[in-house]
């Protein structure tokens, strides 16, 4: 898989937002947010069971950091991984979440308006870059203009209504007046990892993902 970034794609940077759900009040513990091993840690005054809802793009980082955090804090951590919009909807419907690691601010704004976040707990922890990925053996797509070629039949996107990377891709392409012309080729998927998998499997000619997701692909080939 090739990752196209640079002058042709004009990378966009986005932020990962963390917030504490108001449901954390049930723990009756003081919560402190801090960055640990380039990601996050949540410290409690006593060991507790913590439920973390996290964006799909963080799956690998969470897998690596979870045992380190559990060992250092003594807390038990349970994760729910998925698209940020889907996770936000679950929280609104009453799912027990103590910490929400969202890939965008829109979903947290919605939860905040509904009174579902503890005031003052939002933190910007990480940034990422939106990139276009294509199969490693694809010789058709070199620039965004090539997405309109007849040979390009399927383009993978995260569902814009629920998946931040899809929202970002839509906003970016709409700003270039390219979103509507490409709709006939669009395939909308449930999270950023599904977009990456579709391109890897050859089910899509190209897709928009985060740079970190593209770099994790074992089939990945990229150029600066």
55-112 per-position pLDDT tens digit = 888 888 888 888 888 888 888 888 999 888 889 999 999 998 888 888 888 888 888 8
Of 94, 126, 158, which residue is a domain's last?
A: 126
Say what the pTM is: 0.68
- CA–CA separation, 31 and 44 (whole Å): 6
3-state secondary structure of 120: coil
- CA–CA separation, 6 and 131 (whole Å): 9
- CA–CA separation, 158 and 165 (whole Å): 6
Per DSSP, 56 falls in state: G
Q: Is residue 184 very low, low, confident or very high in pLDDT (cuts 50, 70, 90)? A: very high
- Across the chain, where does the E strand assignment appear? 2-4, 13-20, 32-34, 41-43, 49-55, 76-82, 99-102, 123-134, 155-158, 186-189, 206-210
Structural domain span for residue 8 = 2-12+129-216
**Into how many domains does the chain fold?**
2
The per-residue pLDDT for 9 is 37
CA distances from 12 to 117, 123, 168 (A): 27, 20, 9
3-state secondary structure of 24: helix
Of 91, 126, 161, which residue is a domain's last?
A: 126
Residues 102 and 174 in one domain: no
Tell me, yes or no, whether 179 lies in a domain. yes
149: buried, middle or exposed (CB in 10 Å: 19+, 13-18, 0-12)?
A: exposed
162: buried, middle or exposed (CB in 10 Å: 19+, 13-18, 0-12)?
A: buried
Nearest CA-CA partner of 192 in 11, 12, 57: 57
DSSP string, 149-195: STT---EEEE-TTT-HHHHHHHHHHHHTT-TGGGGGGEEEESSHHHH
In the block, which residue shows the tokens 């759900």? 21
Tell me, yes or no, whether 170 lies in a domain. yes
Report strand pairing: 49-55 vs 76-82: parallel
190-220 per-position pLDDT tens digit = 999 899 999 999 999 999 998 888 887 766 4
Of 91, 111, 126, which residue is a domain's last?
A: 126
């Amino acid at each position: 898989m090739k990752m196209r970034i640079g002058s042709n794609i004009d990378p966009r940077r986005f932020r990962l937002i963390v917030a504490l759900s108001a449901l954390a009040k049930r723990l009756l513990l003081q919560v402190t947010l801090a960055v640990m091993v380039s990601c996050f840690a949540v410290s409690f005054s006593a060991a507790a069971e913590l439920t973390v809802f996290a964006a799909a793009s963080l799956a690998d980082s969470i897998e690596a950091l979870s045992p380190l955090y559990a060992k250092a804090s003594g807390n038990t951590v349970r994760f729910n991984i998925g698209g940020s919009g889907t996770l936000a909807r679950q929280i609104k419907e009453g799912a027990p979440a103590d910490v929400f690691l969202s890939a965008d601010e829109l979903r947290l704004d919605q939860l905040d308006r509904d009174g579902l976040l503890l005031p003052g707990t939002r933190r910007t922890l990480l940034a990422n870059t939106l990139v276009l990925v294509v199969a490693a053996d694809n010789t058709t797509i070199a620039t965004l203009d090539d997405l309109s070629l007849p040979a390009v039949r399927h383009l993978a996107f995260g569902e814009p209504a629920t998946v931040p990377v899809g929202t970002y891709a839509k906003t970016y392409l709409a700003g270039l007046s390219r979103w509507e012309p490409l709709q006939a080729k669009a395939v909308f998927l449930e999270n950023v990892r599904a977009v990456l998998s579709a391109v890897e499997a050859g089910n899509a000619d190209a897709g928009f993902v985060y740079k970190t997701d593209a770099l994790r692909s074992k089939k990945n080939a990229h150029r600066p």
